[in-house]
Structure 1
């Protein structure tokens, strides 16, 4: 017997990750299959997963239960982190990645012995804009609600 709540949450994560591909194409006109496994982007798979779990738990057990309280608090923490801490980390990564170019400009494109260009760029797409979190949470809530209503009753 599987854990239906976990399966529902993971289904929501997978759905959000798959949706990133056509959303990215609609915005950029380019197909990039790396979006399916990458972090960041529209919709937030983190938000989708925790929202699916909370909606599933609320539908199955009710909103006055400890199970729902735990899933709701987990969701709040994860979505806050995705929108704030992780997004700001991504913005800092953009600035750090641009440092090499800035140093070379300041040095007249000849930085000398004291500057070696970074070999690897930091990952810039880590967090989410609020609209991406909202879209992920709405997708997840829908999947969680449907998951709880479609349980096989034996």
Structure 2
């Protein structure tokens, strides 16, 4: 258990995710002037906490194990897959959900009867900017974490 608790790479990645989620909440408040606490646990939005997490992980592994190590290669490939998925597949799924919600809304207006189904979650993926900012936050946090500690 002590080994797990002292794993700096792991905790750097976890804290990078936490910081990105807090920033997401603060950015939303700055733009909309209202607190939406559920933003803290939602996917999507600025910045990407997934990108921050895997970027901090890969950077931490690179710093501790070496940039030419197989461990860094594994972490870097994982990071690229996660970030690609966030801007591609999950973003497309969110756009599909938005379109389906619009269609359901139009059908409800035409029918004027029956219970309205719960809307699909639309904020699933990220723009390239949201992922880039998340990746920068993660890498910067990892460098700071390993330089300070």
Same fold (TM over 0.5): yes
Secondary structure, counterpart of 1:124 in structure 2? coil
Conserved 8 A contact 1:39-1:125: yes
Measure, in 2, the Cα distance between the counterparts of 1:110 and 1:58: 58
Conserved 8 A contact 2:25-2:35: yes
State the partner residue of 1:110: 111
2:88 maps to 1:84:
yes
Q: Please say which of residues 18-27 and 70-79 is displaced more in the overlay.
A: 18-27
State the partner residue of 2:75: 71
State the partner residue of 1:48: 52
**Where does structure 1 lack aligned partners over 5 or more consecutive residues?**
none
Measure, in 1, the Cα distance between the counterparts of 2:63 and 2:108: 58
Measure, in 2, the Cα distance between the counterparts of 1:90 and 1:117: 23
- Larger-Rg structure: 1
Residue 34 of structure 1, aligned match among 28, 34, 38: 38
Give the superposed CA RMSD: 1.6
**How many pairs were matched up?**
145
Measure, in 1, the Cα distance between the counterparts of 2:36 and 2:105: 26
State the partner residue of 1:60: 64
Relative to its length, the structure with more helix (as a share) is 2
Q: What aligned pairs does 1:72-151 form with structure 2 within 5 A after superposition? A: 72-105=76-109, 109-110=110-111, 116-151=114-149
Normalised by the size of structure 1, how large is the TM-score? 0.87
Measure, in 1, the Cα distance between the counterparts of 2:111 and 2:55: 51
Residue 15 of structure 1, aligned match among 8, 15, 19: 19
Regions of 4+ moved over 4 Å: none
**Where does structure 2 lack aligned partners over 5 or more consecutive residues?**
none
1:150 Cα deviation from its structure 2 partner: 3.5
